[in-house]
Amino acid sequence: MTIALIAHDSKKELMVQFCTAYCRILSQNQLVATGTTGKLIAESTGLPVKRFLSGKQGGDQQIAARIACNEIDLLIFFRDPINAKPSEPNEMTLLRLCDVHNIPMATNIATAEVLIHGLERGDLDWRSIVNPPQA
């Protein structure tokens, strides 16, 4: 499975802690992330992370394009729901694309933990039927 990881600045440490806690499960999957988030995860956990541009430079849009092409199987996006951001319209597009393409997504730690445990149990194996691995 390909898992996309995005975190607002105020949630980056939480994302690192999440990835550290679930390193074993995440290591069995391909990880992609926006630039700074991916750098922090890779440095803290040693996990290989394909990094796109930073969110401010369009990394979230690069991930959105991959969602639209069915190249992402799961999105974990730790958002700051309190402070409005100029990139909020892009974020709504990202979340809408997940809904359109039936991509499981988490926008907070509680939902992310449910999804990661489901991933470990095989509850998301249906994604491999929808999105078979390319030969």
β-partners of residue 49 are 31
Closest CA to 75 of 116, 36, 41: 116
Closest CA to 6 of 29, 30, 38, 28: 38
Amino acid at 106: A
Which of 60, 73, 80, 125 is labelled catalytic?
Answer: 60
CB contact set of 59 (below 8 Å; sequence gap of 6+): 6, 33, 34, 35, 51, 52, 53
Cβ neighbours, 10 Å, residue 5: 25
- With tokens 């445990």, the residue in question is 117
Residue 60 a catalytic site member: yes
Give the residue numbers marked as catalytic: 60
